[in-house]
A and B are shown apart, each in its own frame.
Chain A
Amino acid sequence: MAFEFTPERLAQFHELLTHYPEEHARAAMLPTLHLAQEQNGYLSQDVQAYVAGLLGVSEAQVLDVVTFYPMFFDAPVGKHIVRVCKTLSCDLCGCREIIEHIKERLEVDFDETTEDGSVTLLSSECLAACDQAPVMMINDDLHGRLTLERVDELMDALE
């Protein structure tokens, strides 16, 4: 079945539209895509077509945006998204060891999903939390001052 927003999300979408001038509905693109990804997990062609219809733009214009921003997924991802920062302050504080450990433990490389579909591992650029380096995000939550033990605890808690 083709993708559609749930009634609550459709209402949220209509509220979003009021944030922008009427003739600039396209401005709601990023928030609408966030909303759609929240519901569907990733932005399939179906979803993109639906968003294009809602905003009155072409599917190509949606694809153009989806492929520009690293936080939008155009293919299925795992149940959990793990983003590990690899930029300078984290590197100075030992993120390479953390990254190696996570890769070994999950048996995946960056941009891959574990076989059971539980975790997609991504690298991230500076997460603006360098005072807590090394850091990573698991879904919406930031975790800092990582040690190998702490990483194991966090991974154990993931289903």
Chain B
Amino acid sequence: MGKPKERRILYENIDAPDMHTLDVYRRHGGYASLEKLFDLNAEQLLDIVRDSGLRGRGGAGVSAGFKWNLMGQGEPKYLIANADESEPGTFSNRYILQHKPHMLIEGMIIAAWSLGVHKAYVYVRGEFTLGKKRLDAAIQEAYEAGILGESVAGHDFALDIYTHAGAGAYICGEETGLIESLEGKRGQPRVKPPFFPAAIGVFMQPTMVHNVETLSNLPYIINNGTEWYQSLGAVYKDTPRGVDPMNTGTKLYCVSGHVEKPGVYEVEMGLTVRELVELAGGVRGGNEVKAVIPGGSSAPVLTPYELDVPVDFTCLQMAKTMLGSGGIIVMDETTCTVRALENLMDFYAHESCGQCTPCRVGTPWTRDIVARIEAGKGRPGDVDHLIEVANNVANIDTFTWNTICVFGIAVSWPAVSFARKFRPEFEAHIEQGKCVTLPVSEAVAPPEENYAWPQELPEVERKPTWDY
């Protein structure tokens, strides 16, 4: 087997000089999809998107076609691009805004035409000053070229796109928190149901919220068709495409932490965790891997025993974690897993929006337990205590939560998975009353104790194009 290979589609030519301008984007084939788009009606487009297998890249991985099908009937309808990108370990949307903003605009035009939307917003993370500047300039260029406005590309269809800057709150990435924020309020998530803003969203109207990466896939699907899109990504042995759960397309994996070449790697879904680490130059200094977070900081951590899991929606879910936002954080043998968890719990304690008690109180409580273990002041029984408190915010075994939004799960997933999988290292801190970084072989609990997978993972069919 050769080395894994990048397959750039969204990130194709992203480094080309001035790719953020209309001229250069067009010269590389940009906006070609608009020539086909207006010959297709809403029903045909829904079929195309559903059949492509495209799933949301923002975190939950909901099928785009499924969501489009739930879009309410009321007028007006809205479209929101979620460019809040604040899940720790994730940084692929930033580069799209900075270097290929027209791709997002093109994707938004496709979604807007398909869903009958005439007003769309891009909710841009407040700290993305350069990205917002480039996107604003691109939108301006698009208006001037007649690609946006009263008559999109000369067709009888009006679309306005506005950018809206956030102001530094992680929870505004959650789609209903985002909507509250867009309405000029605190970014506190709404009570469900409705489970999707497609029913009732911004200004109480039907609203489609998609991540920047999800929308950026649309031009390529329209240009090349569903069959082409379906040919990309994981196919399971003995399971014909169309029957297996969809893991089509490429994914922008953000690899950071202890690797030689951190960065965004676009590959077809289906490569393993180990291969992605290798793609990012391998672990720094040839060190041993101790832990890998596969899908942004909210995703349960993986141990060195679990590195052959294919990084796609289905397999990661079977391995009791998730693809999430595609943020892969690699930790080598020098890492103290207690300290790593303390860092994450600090983040969540700071970012809880505060409207539900289990999350507002339970998150800092969880953080405090981890902090005292790390400081050498842990008490016997603290690991179980930690797991219990976190599981009372949201229970990772029954997958139920006592909170308004799934931020609760995002807290207890890392908390419980770190505590269980690296229990020996946690216990060593408590026993020795100080921070101890154990060698990998001693730090990790054996797999059969805590994370035996319920089923055999499906075998992904290797494609010749995946290797050199």
A128 contact from B91, B164, B185, B347, Cβ within 8 A: B91
Residue B357 at the chain A interface, CB threshold 8 Å:
no
Pick from A29, A125, A141 the residue with the most CB of B within 10 Å.
Answer: A125
Q: Which among B162, B169, B203 is the interface contact of A69 at CB below 8 angstroms?
A: B169
Question: 8 Å CB contacts to B: which residues of A105-150?
Answer: 124-133, 137, 140-142
Query: B94 an interface residue at 8 Å Cβ cutoff?
Result: yes
B185 contacts which chain A residues (CB < 8 A)? 26, 29, 61, 64-65
Cβ of A158 within 8 Å of any chain B Cβ, yes or no, is no
Q: Is A154 an interface residue (CB 8 A)?
A: no
Q: State how many residues of chain A have any CB contact under 8 Å with chain B.
A: 43
A45 at the B interface (CB under 8 A): no
Most buried by B among A26, A68, A88: A88
Contact A70–B343 (Cβ < 8 Å): no
Once the chains are docked, how many angstroms separate the CA of A130 from the CA of B297?
Answer: 12
Which chain A residues numbered 19 to 43 have a C-beta less than 8 Å away from chain B?
19, 21, 24, 26-31, 33-34
Quick check: is B72 within 8 A (CB to CB) of the other chain?
Answer: no
Taking CB atoms, residues of chain B closer than 8 Å to A137 are 127
B130 close to A92 (CB less than 8 A): no
A27 and B168 contact, CB distance less than 8 A: no
Chain B: which residue is nearest A93 at the CB level? B257
Q: Is the CB of A128 within 8 A of B125?
A: yes
User: In the bound complex, do residue B297 and residue A88 qualify as a contact, i.e. CB atoms below 8 Å apart?
Assistant: yes
Q: How far is the CA of A107 from the CA of B150 in the complex (A)?
A: 55
B248 close to A (CB within 8 Å): no
Residues of B within 8 A of A141 (CB): 129-130
Which residues of chain A have C-beta atoms less than 8 A from B183's C-beta? 24, 26-27
Report if A130-B168 is in contact (Cβ < 8 Å); known contacts: A19-B162, A89-B256.
no
Is there an interface contact between B186 and A65, defined as CB atoms closer than 8 Å?
A: yes
Q: What residues of chain A lie closer than 8 Å to B335, measured between beta carbons?
A: 92
Interchain CB contact under 8 A, A125 and B86: yes
A72 at the interface (CB under 8 A from B): yes
Give B385-417 interface residues, CB cut-off 8 Å to A: none
Q: Please tell me if the beta carbons of A65 and B168 are within 8 angstroms of each other in the complex.
A: no
Give Cα A102–Cα B165 distance, bound, in whole angstroms: 28
Chain A residues within an 8 Å CB radius of B65: none
Interface of B is mostly: mixed
A30-B181, A130-B256, A140-B129 are known contacts. Are A64 and B86 too (CB-CB below 8 A)?
Answer: no
- Collect the chain B residues with CB atoms within 8 Å of residue A93's CB: 257-258
B177 → chain A closest CB, angstroms: 11
A91 at the interface (CB under 8 A from B): yes
CB proximity to A under 8 Å, residues B149-170: 162, 164-170
User: How far, in Å, is A16 (CB) from chain B's closest CB?
Assistant: 9
**B302-341 with Cβ < 8 A to chain A:** 327, 329, 331, 335, 339-340
Verify if B89 is at the interface (C-beta below 8 Å from A). Answer: yes
Q: Is the CB of A88 within 8 A of B167?
A: no
Question: A130 near B167 (CB under 8 angstroms)?
Answer: no
A55-B186 contact, Cβ under 8 Å, with A24-B203, A69-B167, A70-B167? no
Are B167 and A33 in contact (CB-based, < 8 A)? yes
Chain B residue numbers with a CB within 8 Å of A57 are 184
Instruction: Decide if B343 touches A91 in the complex (CB within 8 Å).
Output: yes
| Assembly CA distance A28 to B94 (angstroms) | 24
Interface residues as binary, A51-84 with B (CB distance below 8 Å gives 1, 0 otherwise): 0000101000100110011111000000000010
Residues of B within 8 A of A44 (CB): none
Tell me, in angstroms, the Cα distance from A24 to B162 when the chains sit together. 15
| Closest chain B residue, CB of each to CB of A68 | B186
- Contact across chains for B327 and A72 when beta carbons are under 8 A apart: no
A131, B350: Cα distance in complex, Å? 23
- Which residues of chain B (81-95) have a CB below 8 Å from chain A? 85-91, 93-94
Tell me whether B331 and A92 are in contact (CB under 8 A): yes
Pick from A31, A126, A131, A140: contact of B264, CB below 8 A.
A131
- Whether B182 is near chain A, meaning CB under 8 Å from some CB there, is yes
Q: Determine the residue in chain B with the shortest Cβ distance to A70.
A: B168
B37: which A residues are within 8 A, CB to CB? none
Q: Do A92 and B91 form a contact, CB below 8 Å, given A31-B165, A68-B187, A137-B127?
A: no
A–B complex contacts, Cβ < 8 Å, 14 sampled: A24-B203, A26-B185, A27-B203, A30-B167, A69-B167, A70-B168, A88-B88, A88-B347, A89-B88, A128-B85, A128-B86, A128-B128, A133-B257, A137-B127
In the complex, besides A29-B184, A89-B262, A140-B130, 11 extra interface pairs with C-beta distance below 8 angstroms are A33-B167, A34-B167, A64-B185, A65-B186, A69-B169, A71-B126, A125-B350, A127-B127, A130-B91, A130-B256, A131-B255
**Chain B residues close to A by CB (< 8 Å):** 85-91, 93-94, 121, 125-130, 162, 164-170, 181-187, 203, 254-258, 262-264, 293, 297, 327, 329, 331, 335, 339-340, 343-344, 346-347, 350-351
Complex A-B, nearest 7 residue pairs according to Cβ-Cβ distance, in ascending order: A29-B184, A69-B167, A130-B256, A126-B88, A71-B168, A26-B184, A71-B167
